[in-house]
Amino acid sequence: MSNPSENRIFSLICLLMVLSVFVWCYLFRFFLDASAPLQGDAYPYLGHIRFYVENMMRGVYPLWDPTRENGNFNEFFLRRIGEFNPFFWLIAFLNKSGIPFAVAHRIFLGAYYFLGIAGFYLLSRRLFHDQRISFMAALLLFFSSLGAKTFESYILLEIVPAIWFFYFLIAFIQTPRRISLLGAVFGLMIINITYIPFYFYTVLSVFLFYFVIVYATAIKALYRRVKDFWSHNKMFSLVCAGLFVVSLIPGILWYQAACQGEVFSKERHAGSFNANPATVGINKVNEGGVLTYLIMDRQFVNLDKLELADFYIPLFAFLMLVAGAWVRLNRLLIFLFLFGFTIFLIGLADASCVHAFLYRHMPFFKYFRNVQFFLWLAVLPAFILFCAQQMRIFIQDCERSAVDRRWATLWVTAVHVGAAALFAHCGTVGYATYAVVIFSLGWMLGQIWAVGNQRVWILLVWAGIILQPFDVYDRLSAIYPPSPEKIFAYDFRYEPGIPSVEQANKLLAFKEKLLGHDAAKKQPYFTTRWFQEAIARFDDRILMNYQSAPFIVYDSVRRVDEDGAGFARIERSMAGFENVAFVYSDEVSVGNSRPQSKARIIAGTDKDFEALKFDANDVSVRTSFSEPKFLVRVANYHSQWRAFVDGTPAPLFRTNVFAQGLWVPAGEHLIQWRFGAPWRYALAYVFVVLYPIVLGSVLWLWFRSRASTQK
């Protein structure tokens, strides 16, 4: 970019980008300052992120979540967010600096989105080698509904690394360099630790498939370039391959945990014929998918009703699309069309035969639903790149005087007048829409006749692109008025120390209020299969009352079979807190045959019971019972829980269908419960350190390569 005029244009683009960031922040101000609550999936994801970050700030890697559904295996939710993503540390840093967590999280969302847009701009630069067109493409994506989706969905966590991956991949294809390879691998590493990387791998598969077809003639040269790179960077390439393989481990561990069948998501798994609880039934998949209503209802008209979940692309893109209908085809256009259209067909679920075919023949398609997310993940960026490429060819032809200016003027004017007439006919569009049509027409005519200053045209394009989104998103504050942030379940219970009966009751009351009568424990989204069984078998009130006790001390134990007999008896015992626990093991000793009538509920410290430690994965208490007691911790049983008496492993039994129980000898003893094997935590901490190191390496290589380029 040694050309001074190009430099000036670049400076202007940078300035306008910064200005756009301010405009975007202004439009979403109520979400960014956390005065309006997050919507849809973004809200539970805030919960997962908050639980993870707050625990990590306490030095605890939370493999177990004691606050969710009576205690839950947290791997599923950690995979949801991809907990090793080093950018989460920004939240921790901001929070430590005194910013409330909710605001810190919103700042993270905004910053992460800007990072994605910056990646998209660079990706466009790689594709088009034209900073004006790249600026337009980035701006169109910036003010599309992807930005609104930030506060309504979790798609941001997938799309930002995906954009950067494709940027580095294209860079590597063009010129194989270390920074490109490591950058692409780092993008994959982040995507791999999310529990459904399959969205991305579907997109990548389609990308590679069409790349090989459309760019078949370039494959040979590419192979030579890659071979040359490999011969000079063998060790580096192997390290990158190793990083990629290592990043698959958390996903594999989660898959193995799912295969064991101890945890279960009834909602996801319903209707699946596959034994693996991680799979999703085809009917569940078909509930989602791209809908015509979702795409078209608020695209051109009814914009005053646009909500966060609605699909929206600034009008300027459509004007570019139609106005560029007569530009010459080239390989990139064909590639983007085939890529985007195929992903769109997959996203339609049962409305097209493509998804059904893939569901039948591609195993990984059985593991994810909500295929409408493809709309944002691939179709939207591909569509914008397609429009941008059209305009690039259009401008190039204009500059080379390769178009018949009169015909081009006629066509472009007809498109814009037609659009304006259509909007006038519909009657439900604002003035901003007409202004965009005028700006777009002015800009395109300016390009056709090659008049005016390029910087002025860039300003006009900027105004033309952001004007309509400004009008549209400025109304969001009326749709989502400021209101207090919703409360999380674990706000009540997750305090270091042992939960009291009062705390537990408060939590249950809160859940009931939040979810409606009896919904507090009905149909949890994801829980252990035994708690699911308890919900199905036991009366709601009895179970909730029993759950409110943190610890219960019994004198005797009765063995029960796995065949499901005796639920009525267990329920009766739980209802009256009878002094007998029901254990699913033949190895347990039964204890006192004539016990007292009532079991003893312990909440907090007592004369012979002292709570020492309570965090996500560890619970320690000191007991000094006068005789052996069977101590039940009313938290969900999972085979990864281990118990220790004075540091020695002790058998832990599944008790009363879903809880954990163990025999505690008489006298003073230290009782500990620990979740997960030590190697699992060691591995997690290795990942916690590894990801920032790789990010640091990417940045270091980036700046080094830029410095060497400038030299």
Partner 1 sequence: MVMVSFQSVYAKIIDLVFRRVILLFVLAVLLSFVLINHNTLKVKTLNYLLPSSADMKDFRNRPAQMSREKLKNFLIYYRTMCGFVTRDAEEPAPCGITGYAYYYFGKENQAIEYYKRAIKLNSHFFWFYYNLGVIYYNKNDYHQAAEYFAHALGIRPENSMYFLVLTKTYRDMFKLLGLMPGDYESSLDQGYALAKILYMNSQLLNEKPQLRTQIGRQRADLQLF
Give the nearer residue to partner 1 in terms of CB position, either 287 or 618: 287
| Smallest distance, partner 1 to C-beta of residue 349, A | 7
Distance CA 53, CA 89 (A): 8
Give the nearer residue to partner 1 in terms of CB position, either 213 or 353: 353
Q: Within positions 236 to 295, which residues make up the interface with partner 1, using CB under 8 A?
A: 286-287, 289, 291-294
The long-range contacts involving 397-406, CB below 8 angstroms and separated by at least 24 positions, are 397/327, 397/328, 398/447, 398/448, 398/450, 399/450, 403/448, 405/448, 405/449
Regarding 329 and contact with partner 1 (CB under 8 A), the answer is yes
* Dihedral, CA of residue 90, residue 91, residue 95 and residue 96, to nearest 10: -40
* Dihedral, CA of residue 362, residue 366, residue 372 and residue 376, to nearest 10: -70
Regarding 327 and contact with partner 1 (CB under 8 A), the answer is yes
Q: Which amino acid is at 180?
A: S
Binding mask 330-349 for partner 1 (x = CB under 8 A): ---xx--x---x---x--xx
Q: Where are the beta strands (DSSP E) in 42-166?
A: 64-65, 72-73
Asked if 333 and 389 count as a contact pair (C-beta separation under 8 A), the reply is: yes
Q: Identify the residue whose tokens are 């942030």.
A: 485
Q: Which residues pair with 72 in a beta bridge?
A: 65
| Smallest distance, partner 1 to C-beta of residue 341, A | 6
| Smallest distance, partner 1 to C-beta of residue 390, A | 6
Distance CA 130, CA 390 (A): 13
Among 66, 82, 324, 591, binds partner 1 (CB under 8 A): 324
Binding mask 292-321 for partner 1 (x = CB under 8 A): xxx---------------------------
Distance CA 578, CA 616 (A): 29
Sign (positive or negative) of CA dihedral 62, 66, 68, 71: positive
Asked if 633 and 673 count as a contact pair (C-beta separation under 8 A), the reply is: yes
| Smallest distance, partner 1 to C-beta of residue 388, A | 13
Binding mask 349-388 for partner 1 (x = CB under 8 A): xxxxxx----------------------------------
Give the nearer residue to partner 1 in terms of CB position, either 224 or 513: 513
Give the nearer residue to partner 1 in terms of CB position, either 395 or 603: 395
Asked if 423 and 434 count as a contact pair (C-beta separation under 8 A), the reply is: yes
| Smallest distance, partner 1 to C-beta of residue 335, A | 11
| Smallest distance, partner 1 to C-beta of residue 353, A | 6
Give the nearer residue to partner 1 in terms of CB position, either 78 or 327: 327
Regarding 325 and contact with partner 1 (CB under 8 A), the answer is yes
Give the nearer residue to partner 1 in terms of CB position, either 288 or 628: 288
Give the nearer residue to partner 1 in terms of CB position, either 26 or 293: 293
- Biggest alpha carbon–alpha carbon distance for the chain: 102
Distance CA 68, CA 47 (A): 10
Among 10, 201, 255, 326, binds partner 1 (CB under 8 A): 326
| Smallest distance, partner 1 to C-beta of residue 216, A | 19
How many residues form the binding site for partner 1 (CB under 8 A)?
Answer: 26
Question: Cα–chain-centroid distance for residue 666?
Answer: 49
Give the nearer residue to partner 1 in terms of CB position, either 416 or 600: 416
Give the nearer residue to partner 1 in terms of CB position, either 121 or 335: 335
| Smallest distance, partner 1 to C-beta of residue 457, A | 22
Of 702, 694, 700, 691, residue with least CA distance to 167 = 702
Residue 661, phi then psi, degrees to nearest 5: -140, 150
What secondary structure letter does DSSP report for 577? T
The CA-to-CA distance between both ends of the chain, in Å, stands at 13
| Smallest distance, partner 1 to C-beta of residue 198, A | 21
Regarding 402 and contact with partner 1 (CB under 8 A), the answer is no
| Smallest distance, partner 1 to C-beta of residue 327, A | 5
Which residues contact partner 1 (rule: CB under 8 A)?
286-287, 289, 291-294, 324-329, 333-334, 337, 341, 345, 348-354, 390
